[in-house]
Every structure is written in C-alpha cells, then in structure tokens.
Structure 1
Amino acid sequence: MPENYKEIIAIAIFLFTYAAIVSEKIHRTIAALFGASLVAVLSIVSLEKAVEAIDFNTIGLLVGMMIIVGITRQTGVFEFLAVKAAKGSQGEPLKIVAALSLVTAVLSAFLDNVTTVLLIVPVTFAIARQLELNPLPFLIPEIIASNIGGTATLIGDPPNIMIGSANNLGFMDFLLNLTPVIVVVYVLTVFCIQIIYRKQLVARDELKTTIMQLNEQDEIKDAALLRKCLVVLALTILGFVTHQYLHLESSIIALTGASLLLLITRSDPEHALQAVEWPVMFFFIGLFVIVGALEEVGVIEAVAKWALDVTGGDLVPTGMLILWLSAIASAFVDNIPFVATMIPLIQDMGRLGGITDLNLLWWSLSLGACLGGNGTAIGASANVVVLGMAEKRGVHISFIGYMKIAFPLMLMSIVVSTAYLLFWYYAHTMTAMCVTLVLGLVLAVLLKPITNILTKQK
C-alpha cells in the first residue's frame, strides 16, 4: 500500500460525496453522513479529530435562529409585511415586484433564505392571481432578492455563518463591509428585472383596486405572541451587533435568544424543535468531518500551495480568482460544501504565503458563493424550494428559462463586486496617497515664502 494511501482515500471519499450531492440521486445529508462515517471507519481521522472538525458555533447559530423564526412565523407577521408592501405599491405590478423583492431581501438578511421564501411565495401567488398575472415575473425576482439580501449579514446565508465562525468575523464586520455593495447590486438587479418584465406586468385598474382592499391586519394571528417575538428578535440582533465587544460567540447569542423566547412564550419545546431543519444540521456535521479529514492528511495544504503558485501569492489576484471561481461553482453546485472546502484552503494560503490580513479573500468568498447561487435553478436552496412550490401550483419554470434571466444578472453582480473589492482594497492605498499629496501641498505652501526669499538672494 502506498505511503500516501490516506490522502488518496480522503480525496476519493470527498469526490464521491460531492458527486452524490451534485447528482441529487442520494439525499445530500445521507451522502455527507456516509462520507463522514467512511473517514472514521477507515481511520483517516481519529474520533477526537473528527469531533474537533465540527464547527459547533455554526450549528448552534443555525439551530437558535431556526427556533426563533419557527415561533415567530406562527404570528403571521411575514404575511402582514407582504400584504403591506403590495398595498403600499398602490396595486401597480411593477412596484409590487420591487416591494416584495425588498421585503424578501431585508428578511433574508436576518432570517434563513428558505424560511423567507416559504413565507413570501404563497402571498405572492395570491397577489398575482388577483391581478390575473403570470406569477413568474414575481417569483424570479424574489429568488434573486433572497440570495442578494442573505449576502449582507453574518446570519443571512449559511456560507457567511461558516466564514464568520471560522475567522472570528462578527455581525458588524459583514454589515459594514458587504452591505454597501449589496445595496448597489440589489438596486441594479431590480432595475434590470423591471425592464425585462415591464410588458408582462400590466394589470387592469379594477384589479388593482382589489389589492388595495386587502386588510393586512387580518394576517396577524397572535398579536400577544408577536410582541414577545419582536422583543426577543430585537434583543438577539442587538446581541449580534455587540457580540464581538462582549466576547461571546454568535451561537451563544442565537441560542440564548431562542431559550428566552421559549421561556416567555411557554412554547412546547417538542413543537418548537420541529422548526429546526435537522437534516441540514447533520449535513453540516458530515461535511465538517470530511473536510477535516482532507485538512488532517495534508490535501488542503497541497492545494493551497498550488493556488499560491498560480497567483504568485499576490493578494488581489488571489481574491479575484476566489470571487469568480466561487460564483461560477456556486451556480452549479451547492455553495455550502464548496465554502466548507474553501475555508481551510484560504487559511492555509494565508499561512503559507505569510499573509496576515485575509479579509479581502473572505469577502471574495462570501460574495462569490452567495451571489453565485443566483446563476441557475439549483444554485441555492431557496431557488429549488421556490421552483418546487411553483410546480405544485401548476407554474413550470424550466432550468434554461430561469438561467436566461438569472445568469446574466448574477454575472453583473459579480462584476459590480469585483469593482467594489478592488476599490475596497486600494482605498487604503489611495487614502494614504491622498494624505501624502495634501501634506505635500501644505508643505509647499508653507515653504513658498522661504523659497522666494532664497531665490531673490541668489
């Protein structure tokens, strides 16, 4: 048996698991758990190392937020927001698309994307039906908006949760560094979508009136519960904003918020825990173990050395490579296993290349993986869920039909992200140059009288 048999077996298990996830012939959770079991059974990693590879901060954050959202959704507040947005648009279809997309994007920044679309899409179908319009021009913008909004914050999308947890990046780090470009991407995307669908989004005046007659208050099912949920949500978000200063992990904040909500609402724990997507949790656990095995046997380090050779170890080319590679890959494969693989790779690239500040690479990975999911119908979980819900209601969205609209918009968002990241990186240098230039001018003004005197003396 060759000396590097562990590396060969680890790579084979990783590729098998990835192929099973992409093919969707085997449930991704089963594939991940089976792969994790193999690396343990074949002694590629010890049990202790396998447990160490699991990022329990990511798991805890997801569980906590799912419990909070699961209880909050019982109040009907999300449907309330959707109806309110439609009425605020005066029944104009183009404005309704923009309003519902905005609600979806904002909610996706603070809640799970799948949960957001599950709540918004049924209301969207009702509105489209009352306007006697094809729901397709409403649904595609909502899919895209959910992935764009989720990119803006630490808790908006699983890749961000994983990146933040692995590198001690907090809620405010994501908010301050990614929200500016996400706002630009969102505005440009909605503008383009309205141009694409403007001829299909025309409704008769009498149908618009029916939208204005909807009563959003009817959507609120439990006002007392809503008040409690909003208080806990506000406290939890405040915790995310300040957790770095309090030296608390984001998972502690989320689980504390969930526990507090369970306590004050006296919800049945068994029912509340049903809101947790346990298959997703075990999918993460399996992936962490498999990627941990690759890292343990040295495969990640070898790939990092190769990547450094390709980019010459320069930070900016490496960041651009990660951004575009992440975007294209995430359009066709699940971005969660991709990001799980990239995190230790980038960490090793920083260690081997002597790079102390890796933030450019983390923002590149986040933007590429999250926005890239918009490219195709299978690029993100929210895409698959919405298309499935549409199919059940007799609205077929083909893979190519979706891709014709979404892929160019995804490429546009990555071009904007490229420009933003280059500006973000070089802004420090530009600031230093501007300060130097200003100081030089001030110095020249101050020295001018002396120069004149010296000139006259000569």
Structure 2
Amino acid sequence: MNWLIAVVFIGVYIGMALGRWPGLAINRTGIAVFGAVVLLLSGAISGEGALAAIDFATLAVLLTLMVLSSQYAASGFFDWIGDRITNLGGGPRGLLAGVIAVCGILSAVMTNDVVVWAVTPVLISGVVARGLDPKPFVIAVVCAANAGSAATLIGNPQNLMIAEFGNLDFGSFLMVCGVPAVIGLVTVYALILRSPMMRAQLTDGGGMAPKRKDANASQPVLDKKILTKAVVATFAVIAIFVFVEDRALWSLLVVAILLLSRRLPTDQVLGRVDWHLLALFCGLFIVTGAMSQDAEIAKLFRDILVTLQIDHWAVLAAVSLAGSNTIGNVPLVMMLLSLGPDWSQSMLHGLAVFSTLSGNFLIVGSVANIIAVEQAQKTGTVISFAEYARLGVPITLISLALALGWMAFIS
C-alpha cells in the first residue's frame, strides 16, 4: 500500500470538510490542486495515470453548461426573471411559491450553482422593496435549486459525473428522479411557509408587489436575440443527452457555436465560467484516481463499503447525508464512483437523488448553499449557520425519507 497516497487523500478530504487547512488561506480548490501536484511530483501517480483519472467528458459538459449560463446572463435573462418573480402577486405566499417553482425548473436545465448565483442578489433587492425579510426567500432559492436539480442529468455537477460514469439515459433518469425532485420542491414550500421566520410576514396586505411608476423604464432589458440563441443551445444540449452517445464532443460543439458571435466577445462569455470549480474537479479526479489505481487501497475501501452494505437504499441515503455535509456532495460522489463497488443503474439513480437532496441539510452541504449565503451577505443579509439549519435539516430529512420510499417502491 502506498501510504503517501492514503495520507494525501485523507488530507485533501479533511480540507474539503473544513473548507481550508487551519492556519492557511487556501480554499478547497487550492487543496485539491496541491494534493494532485504532490502525488504527481512524488511519482505516486504517473502523468498518464493522472490523465486517465480525469473525466474529460464530465468537464466538457460542465464547461458547456457554464458557457450556456453565461449566454443567458448576457441576455439579461436572470435579471429579468428575478424581477418577474419579485413582482408576483399573491403576497408572501405567492412570492414564495413563485421563487421555488422558477428556481426548481431553471436548475433542472442550467445547474443549481448558476441559478443560485444569478437569482439571489436580484431576489433580495425585490423582496426588500416589498418590505419583507429576505432570509426565508434566500433559503427557498437554494433549497429549491438543489431539489429541482435532482430531476435531470444536467441539473448539478454530481449528476453529470454519475451520468458519464453509468452512461445513463436522460429520459429514464428524469422518470425516476423527477418524482423525488417534485416531492422535494413541495416539501421546501410547505416547511418554509410554516416556519416562524415566514409566518411573521404573513400579514394581511403585507408583501404585496410594489407598483412601478414607469413599468417600461424600470424593467430589466432583455436581449431577445441573445436569449433565443441561448434557448436553442439549451434544447441542443438536452437533445445531445437524449440521442447522442459521445456527449462530450457534441457539447463542446455547442460551446464553439456560442463563441461565434458578432455581439458577445469571447472574453465576456468565458469570463463567467467558474474555472475554480473546473480546477477543483481536476484535482479531485487525480487524488481519487491515485487511490483507485492502488490495488490495496482500492480493495480496502471497497471492502468497507461492502461491509456497510452501501447497496441498500437506507444505507446509501445515510452515507449520502453524512458525506454531503462533511466533505460535500461533489467530492463524495467522485470518491464513491472511483472507489466504490459495482454500481447498478438503479443505485446510480439513488446516489444522484440522495446526494443532491442531502445538500440542503446544512450550509456546507452544497456549493450552491455557500454561494447563496455569500451572495446574500454582500447585500447585507446575513444568514447564520443555525438559521439555515432550522429549515434545512427538516426539509432534508423529510424529502430524503419520501425519496427513499419512492426508490424502494419502484425498485
């Protein structure tokens, strides 16, 4: 057994859990890259082995979705949809329902991280204008985005990895995982609506949409030509996942076509790509790849998972909940796929649903959660760990229990 690989692996995943190494300003991306470099320089993994460990198909599709989201942002779509949401009628109840429905649907086709990043600041501005506390609505954004993203193969990064690993079909995935996603959205609405944080705002006439003095002047500008191109590209990506086997190359073709623009400079399109997240993926692929390529370590890890009976629904749900809220759902899924036992299609569906819904438990459970809290803080809305947990914990436990029942029922 190569103990250096084991030490680096443990050190990197401790860093994933803590968010940084104590005493240093290095973040999760830096930790993953540092661990990969140590393994390469020490010879614990060869250059060829590192390249083999990196899932370029997942990275290509993730890059495509980021560029696609950049196209939507350039069209003004996110500002427009945020403005539309915050001016919904029906008081706080209608606003909450609109936030959850829109964020859940958008996350299924644009990835949850992007939707949370784009919608949160606009939503806070609109909610404050209505005289409401933005905190429950920010939590609704992220919980709905996570739950909605569970429905499709392109809803979040971990689903992309699972899709490429198991060569899963888009339609069958949607049929199986769409139900827990909808259940999750309904759970988010019911629990936030009944929470003390929200009940305090459910007064007669409170939170009504503000009236604009000049509706045309105050509405965000929507560039319909750029938006049309983005919508067509979205349908193209979905079609690729439905009909094409080599998804990576065809997805990159979508990127290339989007870059062919008379109006949007390449720097502007690629400037919104989360290169830090792509670097994090590369580093973790190499670290987990080194583990899986060491026969003794890989066998030890698989034996542990077999002993835990990871192929049982309840165990898989429990591991997903614990792992997602310590090391994060993306590192957890990457580790399980690289080092776990043979995965059946149904277990991959379960892993996608459980790891995604588990991300709502605590702020650290998902990158989307961290993005939402940080975006809110920039606008002066501070959501504490306890405030989030009071909603996130029951939402997650109930939605997980219902999803567990659904997966057991159809298997």
| Residue 293 (structure 2) aligns with | 296
- 1:42-121 mapped onto 2 (5 Å cutoff): 42-87=42-87, 89-121=88-120
- 1:325-344 mapped onto 2 (5 Å cutoff): 325-344=319-338
Deviations along 1:24-78, whole A, 9 cap, x unmatched?
2321111111111111222222211111010000110111111121122111122
Separation in 2, partners of 1:304, 1:213: 64
> Matched residue of 1:44: which SS?
coil
| Residue 201 (structure 2) aligns with | 201
User: Offset of 1:296 from its aligned partner?
Assistant: 0.8
| Residue 158 (structure 2) aligns with | 159
| Residue 361 (structure 2) aligns with | 375
The 1:213–1:371 alpha-carbon spacing in structure 2 relative to 1, beyond 3 Å, is: farther
The 1:214–1:31 alpha-carbon spacing in structure 2 relative to 1, beyond 3 Å, is: farther
CA contact (8 A) 1:225 1:265 kept: no
Deviations along 1:297-356, whole A, 9 cap, x unmatched?
122222212332343x9x4x2x3212211122212332111111100233xx22xxxxxx
Deviations along 1:215-236, whole A, 9 cap, x unmatched?
4893234222222222222222
Larger Rg belongs to: 1
- 1:416-431 mapped onto 2 (5 Å cutoff): 416-425=402-411
The 1:417–1:36 alpha-carbon spacing in structure 2 relative to 1, beyond 3 Å, is: same
CA contact (8 A) 1:228 1:264 kept: no
- 1:225-240 mapped onto 2 (5 Å cutoff): 225-240=226-241
| Residue 432 (structure 1) aligns with | none
Separation in 2, partners of 1:266, 1:255: 20
User: Offset of 1:193 from its aligned partner?
Assistant: 1.4
The 1:332–1:212 alpha-carbon spacing in structure 2 relative to 1, beyond 3 Å, is: farther
| Residue 438 (structure 1) aligns with | none
The 1:198–1:22 alpha-carbon spacing in structure 2 relative to 1, beyond 3 Å, is: closer
Deviations along 1:138-157, whole A, 9 cap, x unmatched?
11111101111111111111
1:398 aligns with 2:384: yes
User: Offset of 1:207 from its aligned partner?
Assistant: 6.0
1:11 aligns with 2:10: no
> Matched residue of 1:219: which SS?
coil
The residue type equivalent to 1:225 in the other structure is: I
| Residue 268 (structure 1) aligns with | 265
Q: Which runs of 5+ in 1 are unaligned?
A: 351-356, 426-458
TM-score where L is the length of structure 2 = 0.92
User: Offset of 1:266 from its aligned partner?
Assistant: 5.3
Separation in 2, partners of 1:134, 1:273: 35
> Matched residue of 1:276: which SS?
coil
**Number of residue pairs aligned between Structure 1 and Structure 2:** 403
Separation in 2, partners of 1:171, 1:373: 22
Q: How well do the aligned residues superpose, as a CA RMSD in angstroms?
A: 2.2
Higher relative helix content? 1
The 1:21–1:281 alpha-carbon spacing in structure 2 relative to 1, beyond 3 Å, is: same
Separation in 2, partners of 1:137, 1:33: 36
TM-score where L is the length of structure 1 = 0.83
Partner residue of 1:21 out of 16, 22, 38? 16
User: Offset of 1:15 from its aligned partner?
Assistant: 0.6
The 1:207–1:282 alpha-carbon spacing in structure 2 relative to 1, beyond 3 Å, is: closer
> Matched residue of 1:19: which SS?
helix
CA contact (8 A) 1:143 1:382 kept: yes
User: Offset of 1:108 from its aligned partner?
Assistant: 0.9
| Residue 23 (structure 2) aligns with | none
The residue type equivalent to 1:281 in the other structure is: L
Separation in 1, partners of 2:222, 2:326: 39
> Matched residue of 1:191: which SS?
helix
Separation in 2, partners of 1:198, 1:213: 29
Q: Which runs of 5+ in 2 are unaligned?
A: 21-25
User: Offset of 1:283 from its aligned partner?
Assistant: 0.9
The residue type equivalent to 2:322 in the other structure is: I
CA contact (8 A) 1:65 1:255 kept: no
Separation in 1, partners of 2:206, 2:36: 59
**Identical-residue share of aligned pairs (%):** 25
